Amino acid sequence: MKTIDDLGDLRGKRVLVRSDFNVPLDGTTITDDGRIRAALPTLQALLAKGARVVVVAHLGRPKGAPDPKYSLAPVAERLGELLGQPVALAEDLVGESAKATVAGLEDGQIALLENVRFDARETSKDEAERGALADELASLVDAYVSDGFGVVHRKQASVYDVAQRLPHAVGQLVLKEVESLRKATDDPARPYVVVLGGSKVSDKLGVIENLIGKADRLLIGGGMLFTFLAAQGRSVGTSLLEEDQVETVKGYLATAAERGVEIVLPVDVVVAPRFAADAPATVVPADAIPDDQMGLDIGPESAALFASKIVDAKTVVWNGPAGVFEFEAFAAGTRAVAQALVDAGRNGGFTIVGGGDSAAAVRTLGFDEADFGHISTGGGASLEFLEGKTLPGIAVLED
């Protein structure tokens, strides 16, 4: 893949950058600006080269039409604060405001187009529709840089089609993501440990199937652990359970046993009568969950067990929290996993936090991001990479 340096002299050139600014909002307040900060190195490098930077990004899930609550206005304001210079916000994506905003840029200045998903063609399955939007985006600029890792697994107009129409390069963020994840897929240093959490087994089927043949240990937490417990014939009370995946999980357990892959399940669970921050929490053995209780975190013995299986690893991939970390009473398991990754890193291991809720947990629980080898900005993209899938937004850059 070509890098920004391969694009040549960019002074006076208009460069379209696909970034991932899908940040969480409370009204118009950004509650976690991690994805914006992750985009800074590429944007700063382009601005330093004298490029006229035009950023395209999405926020939330508008239904292919303008929706004020998904405006990128809060992002433009925060990006300007972080860059230390104004960020002009176009009122549309490819209309008169966008054209005038881009035309008004001078060397070393930056603009943000309004939410790309306000245009239904962005996510259309029809290549002609996506292509028409890509043509309009391409007409605004001279070159394209892909730097939104959170969307590279999507064949969308601003991710895939526009790259086919312009001189293109990979941004620093996407390049770092790919290089880091390849350390966990091509020839990982061992022991190689994968920690999976989150709510559903079905979200991680491809990853489990692919990594059973590669990882040395697979640690299972989060809501998905209860489907594993059910596959072992255990009662899980009112815990989250995907009954239609029980037979699949039984197959994974058998395959892991055949291949000598250690699957580590919790030995105790923190339960409560309801899903609420103030619900009374109780620790019970994993094989003795009361019928009227739901599991919301791994227990203290499990946290210690997980830590012991992580701390000596030379490669660790973590995707999905161990419990409902947003509620303090059920955050201890996730906190223990994060700390174990920090300790593994200090012991010479390479650690990857696989985006999405895991990355949010690291920040929410107060960990220093510098203590992890790599924190991915793309949950779904990192999962598909770990599954071994071809990501369209990466493949299109490989000339």
The binding site for substrate consists of: 20-22, 35, 58-61, 117, 154
CA distance 195 to 337: 8
For the question of residue 356 being annotated catalytic, the response is yes
The binding site for (2R)-3-phosphoglycerate consists of: 35, 117, 154
What secondary structure letter does DSSP report for 10?
-
- Give the count of beta carbons closer than 10 Å to the beta carbon of residue 65: 9
CA distance 33 to 10: 28
Q: Which residues are within 8 A (CB) of 383 and not within 5 positions of it... i.e. 6 or more apart?
A: 203, 204, 206, 207, 319, 354
Q: Catalytic: which of 131, 150, 356, 393?
A: 356
The DSSP code sequence of 45-114 is HHHHTT-EEEEE---S---SS--GGG-SHHHHHHHHHHHTS-EEE-SSSSSHHHHHHHHT--TT-EEE-S
DSSP H helical segments within the chain, as ranges? 34-48, 73-83, 96-103, 127-138, 172-185, 205-211, 225-231, 246-259, 300-310, 332-346, 356-364, 379-387, 392-395
For the question of residue 108 being annotated catalytic, the response is no
Which position has the token pair 């409370």?
Answer: 26
Residue type, 338: A
Phi (first) and psi of residue 226, to 5 degrees: -75, -25
Q: Which residues are within 8 A (CB) of 138 and not within 5 positions of it... i.e. 6 or more apart?
A: 16, 144, 162, 165, 166
Q: Catalytic: which of 2, 14, 200, 363?
A: 200
β partners of residue 146: 18, 170
CA distance 239 to 228: 12
Q: Catalytic: which of 13, 18, 35, 121?
A: 35
Tokens of 276: 């609420």
The binding site consists of: 20-22, 35, 58-61, 117, 154, 204, 295, 326, 355-358
Residue type, 41: P
Which positions are annotated as active-site residues?
35, 200, 356, 380
